[in-house]
Structure 1
């Protein structure tokens, strides 16, 4: 009977999810060399190659693809058994700024759950300023936000680049104020847009304000207004219209992670958050 090593299976699943030995090592709080040793130990134990690695790509082998779901089941059963020994459920509240909650959000939540099924994860979406205020009041355990003003603390996860996005059909009539959509008056990304327009002497008006991200997306997608979005989370079907409309270039920012958690399991969850964001925000080769 083949006995599986939990840490080796953890290493395999992390590599499969991150498609990177480096990111997997970061998520598990270890080194790339240690991850490679654990994977080799697992492959030797089951007698099959699970990961195919080239200088440009890390991917599952055919046997690895078959084994992956079973590996997840194995880890979930192990974590459930360990969690059953704990009398009190643990809760982890993470705030994610609406402008940075992009395609990495579903894999982020999946990774957190796979990492620790006994952890009850709650997500709060809001603008960066509101989340930073909530973090400082102790209402949330961690915040993933756009860097605000000159605040220099927090762990940098990735750069954040902004653009003016609108529907291909959007038209701006000369002599009329530029029509903008924004999340709320306290949204820092709104400030980036309005300050850039004011500095360039371009008149503007807000036609959608404070309706939430879905309302802003709907207004922009329908061609009623334009909005500033991170290039990674612009609504599907919209395009960058800044050059066509002669709009000013927008300054880049950074996505940062704030947390004061110190216990081992929570710090491990934070490493998973950081690794997922870095993986999904990494520049394409």
Structure 2
């Protein structure tokens, strides 16, 4: 006898803990409490007869048994979802706008995770500036936007606050007596405006040497040695250097990331909760 079947809700909780490295983020993804997540995990561990997660004050880590169970857990939930979609009549659609300065290198993995979680949910992504995306949201062209806090907007749910710095290539040196060469995104861009305001307020002479159509283009210009850019550390490849202190550049504030959505229930809401939790983990590290 194999015993009682596994609780799929508990298996889902285990997967969220493993993928998000956090009981708190897992609770957000499942729209429940941290205590409920812990209870689900304990129930699963009791059923399997092994400890799956090692808890420490600073982080969570899979045990050897947890790592061995991880792939089987994914296959189990995928099979469950396939069984349900056999009887699904229509696919639901979720349109999401994500700001250039929010959509980091982890975005493809996050979207893939959402697709795997609910194959019957058709997810459409648009990348753009916070201002343009908010206008599209207000016109009801997008269901949800994840953007930087925008001037004049006080609504939205705070997902995280992210520190920005002045980054350059590892061997880049500023030429004495010349204005600071800055790589930026094209207008309108809130981060660009913030960087300009802080440089002007600090009396730092500067000049634009590169204007890109997206963060990846600005990052490429920085790593090519064209100049410096105001960016979040997670946007940059390994080796980029924060030169703000060395060059006496003004400190940049932490910038809020906000979620604006009209989705309140159903499968799109579940997928969105998982995406928001994943963004919180990515930003906070």
Match of 1:86 in 2: 88
- The match for 2:147 among 145, 148, 155 is 145
- The match for 1:168 among 164, 167, 170 is 170
C-alpha deviations, 1:180-204, integer Å up to 9, x for none? 1112121111111111222223332
Q: How many residues align?
A: 283
- 1:11 counterpart = 2:13: yes
Q: Distance in 1 between matches of 2:45 and 2:251?
A: 51
C-alpha deviations, 1:197-244, integer Å up to 9, x for none? 222233322121134333322211111121110133234322111222
My pick for the range that moved more, 36-45 or 7-16, is 36-45
Counterpart mapping for 1:44-193 below 5 A: 44-193=46-195
Unpaired stretches in structure 2, ≥5 consecutive residues: none
8 A Cα contact 1:94 1:140, kept in partner: yes
Q: Distance in 1 between matches of 2:172 and 2:129?
A: 26
Q: Distance in 2 between matches of 1:121 and 1:51?
A: 31
SS across alignment from 1:232: helix
TM-score (structure 2 length as normaliser): 0.91
8 A Cα contact 2:121 2:267, kept in partner: no
The structure-2 alpha-carbon separation of the partners of 1:206 and 1:264, relative to structure 1 and needing over 3 Å to count, comes to same
The structure-2 alpha-carbon separation of the partners of 1:94 and 1:175, relative to structure 1 and needing over 3 Å to count, comes to same
8 A Cα contact 2:185 2:192, kept in partner: yes
> How big is the shift at 1:107?
4.3
- 1:241 counterpart = 2:272: no
Q: Distance in 2 between matches of 1:219 and 1:23?
A: 34
Q: Distance in 1 between matches of 2:28 and 2:178?
A: 51
8 A Cα contact 1:185 1:210, kept in partner: no
Runs of 4+ in 1 over 4 A off after TM superposition: none
8 A Cα contact 1:220 1:226, kept in partner: yes
8 A Cα contact 2:100 2:214, kept in partner: no
> How big is the shift at 1:21?
1.9
Match of 1:219 in 2: 221
Q: Distance in 2 between matches of 1:55 and 1:177?
A: 47
Unpaired stretches in structure 1, ≥5 consecutive residues: none
Q: Distance in 1 between matches of 2:230 and 2:196?
A: 10
> How big is the shift at 1:71?
0.9
8 A Cα contact 2:131 2:189, kept in partner: yes
The structure-2 alpha-carbon separation of the partners of 1:114 and 1:130, relative to structure 1 and needing over 3 Å to count, comes to same
Q: Distance in 2 between matches of 1:105 and 1:215?
A: 16
Match of 1:276 in 2: 278
8 A Cα contact 2:121 2:268, kept in partner: no
8 A Cα contact 1:181 1:216, kept in partner: yes
> How big is the shift at 1:36?
2.2
Aligned residues: CA RMSD: 2.0
The structure-2 alpha-carbon separation of the partners of 1:53 and 1:203, relative to structure 1 and needing over 3 Å to count, comes to closer
Q: Distance in 1 between matches of 2:198 and 2:138?
A: 29
Q: Distance in 1 between matches of 2:123 and 2:164?
A: 29
TM-score (structure 1 length as normaliser): 0.91
Match of 1:30 in 2: 32
Q: Distance in 1 between matches of 2:268 and 2:182?
A: 40
C-alpha deviations, 1:31-67, integer Å up to 9, x for none? 2222222222222323332222233432222222111
> How big is the shift at 1:277?
1.9
